[in-house]
Chains A and B, each alone.
Chain A
Amino acid sequence: MRLIDATPALFMIALSAAIVAGTGDLPYWADITPGARFFPVWLAGTGILLALLLLANLYSDPAGGRVEIPDARAVVRVGLTTGGMIGFIVLTPFVGMVLAGALFMAFLLLVVLRQPLMPSLLTVAIVALGVEGIFVRWLGVALPAFPFSI
């Protein structure tokens, strides 16, 4: 049994412990009914039990839950894509949501996925115009707009 295969079980145990600790100030029982802590405690107990079951399964049959570790390139890509999405959220208040989305898509296509320029820009334009047209113009959703009105 490798440590990485046991991660879900260990995470579950940690989370259960955190829930028990985090609800410490709430009542377990309130007069005649379960209180705010009743469900969390039982849930944490179930979580720990399931985690132990999973560990037992892994122990008896190590091949059963073998995690495929992604290679470095995959991790870099996922990391860059996530970073791009963070960039989108951070940029939105400054440049508006539609433009931030366009920049994010361009970043993803050109930098992360290394696609040719023209089809990428075409994709960006179609999605950005679609979002602007459907969400903003038609449905009237108040997406953060470009702050410097033209």
Chain B
Amino acid sequence: MDSLNLLLEGFATCFTPGNLAFILLGVLIGQIVGALPGVGPAAGMALLLPLTFGIEPVTAVMMLAGIMYGGQYGGTLTSVLINVPGEASGVMTAVDGHQMARAGRGGAALSIAAIGSFLAGIGACLAVAFVTPLLSSFALRFNAPEYFLLGVLGLIAAASLGSSPVRALIAAVLGLMIALVGTDPVTGAPRLTFDQAALFEGIDFIPVAIGVFGIAEVLSSLERSEDVQPIRTRLRDMWLTAEEWSQSRFAILRGGIIGLFVGLMPGAGASVASMLSYLNERKFSRHPERFGHGAIDGVAAAEAANNSASHGAIIPMLALGIPGSASTAVLLAALILHGIQPGPSLMTQESALVWGLIASMFVGNILLLVINLPLAPMFAALLRVPYVYLAPGILALSLVGAYSATLDMGTVWKSLFFGVFGWLMIKFDIPRPPLVLALVLAQLVETSLRQSLLLSFGSLGIFIERPISIVLLILVATMIALPVWNAIRSRRSPSRAPAAE
């Protein structure tokens, strides 16, 4: 097989001491920047881009890609341990992962996240190596109508989080309302910006996530910090049990597949991937009630999905020259800075570089597993530090992280505002994840709907004329109809008063 030979050559490129060292450096940096709130893999890659100027292009790309997927592993740490997702794709991990950490199972959550990320990462690498042309042509069949329906699916996923559907929906609507602020994506007219330059580009995900998760969490815990016991974690509780593994195996498989397909679409990305995979797992779980309260298969599915999505985003980049995510955009920029012109001919003209990169992703994922598995219990043990000493550090890091994201004090103010807002949400029992997820999905839902109708000159038929769109439409209809049907059936039993809708 041709690809196999090329891949072996790629491994030969990889296995020089210099390249291996740079891959290791890349994944380590990724691990660290992924864990810093506000920085994240894309920003970390950009910050370290100048360091790659002196080295060979293939080595540089290997290292930068290492930061990209290493960041997915690193982001898990803060999501699970302190409930601060460093970026949108970590939100779903935080939902169950942090509950596990609170129950003293942080080590297991981190372990399954590492294993899930690893398996899904390797699977995605195989896909990149052997079916990139096929997948990239699939990615091109995904356009505005499909993105709109995908966004709706994501919203349904978001609204199923929390104590009651009405409260989760209120949170999701709040998130969509926050997203209204800024320049209207289609006409370019300012909307709800109140003539403030700071609001012109809208309210970004980062200050909202840092606020409603990180800052709000600390504020709520500090109310009565003397009651917050350090989480008791015995070392033997840290490891993954056989039962947990058997619960998570298929979650990883399904999450990995969903992640790959969603990740390779330039308009969606790791956050949508982890949401859909989580929703899918919950729908088909035998114990859906455990989701949101520390379900390990939820963590496994979300982490498998976001890592395979971050690899999948490489496919349109290599095959078409279209970045599938913020991180791959930086990777493309790195190629250009190193004098390589990306585009559809990249894979043939720079085959040594492309295959070296693909091979390095296998190596990098193995390195990350080797690093993360033994470290998972150690990181989880950090929670033994009394909370009163962790809290100021989390707050300071959140504020500094918010500043680093844009180098603008306005972002820090926004984080603080959303911190207090998030604290109020906790007090009033409005779940926070749907808000943040809806904020991420808003662009997909609103812009894609309007783009679709521009494409079809106003005809709604565009949603049923396209094969992938029909499949998604049926999925959406089922997802909406099922709970309604269930509600109607339970209403038929006359025990409840009609007012209790």
Contacts and interface: CB of A to CB of B under 8 A. Distances in A.
Determine whether A and B are in direct contact in the complex, meaning some CB atoms lie less than 8 angstroms apart.
Answer: yes
Contact of B446 (A26, A39, A81): A39
Contact of B389 (A47, A74, A123): A123
Contacts, number: 187
B33 interface: yes
B427 A67 contact: yes
Nearest to A80: B222
B501 interface: yes
A17 B388 CA distance: 41
A113 interface: yes
Contacts of A81: 218-219, 222, 395
Interface string A33-57: 1111011100110110011011011
B403 A15 contact: no
Given A54-B170, A82-B219, A101-B399, A65 B184 contact: no
Contact of B187 (A30, A67, A140, A144): A30
B488 interface: no
A75 B130 CA distance: 58
A78 B48 CA distance: 37
Contacts of A33: 186, 450, 453-454, 458
Contacts of B453: 32-34
B78 to A, nearest CB: 14
A142 B450 CA distance: 39
Contact of A143 (B48, B400, B428): B400
The residue among A34, A39, A74 with the most chain B CB atoms within 10 A of its own CB is A39
Given A8-B430, A32-B457, 11 more contacts: A15-B177, A26-B191, A33-B186, A56-B499, A56-B500, A70-B427, A82-B419, A89-B399, A97-B403, A141-B47, A143-B400
11 contacts: A7-B428, A36-B187, A54-B167, A56-B499, A77-B222, A123-B389, A124-B392, A139-B44, A139-B47, A141-B39, A141-B404
Interface of B: 32-33, 36, 39, 44, 47-48, 164, 166-167, 169-170, 173-174, 176-177, 180, 184, 186-187, 189, 191-192, 194, 215, 218-219, 222-225, 388-389, 391-393, 395-397, 399-400, 403-404, 407, 409, 412-413, 416, 419-420, 423, 427-430, 446, 449-450, 453-454, 457-458, 497, 499-501
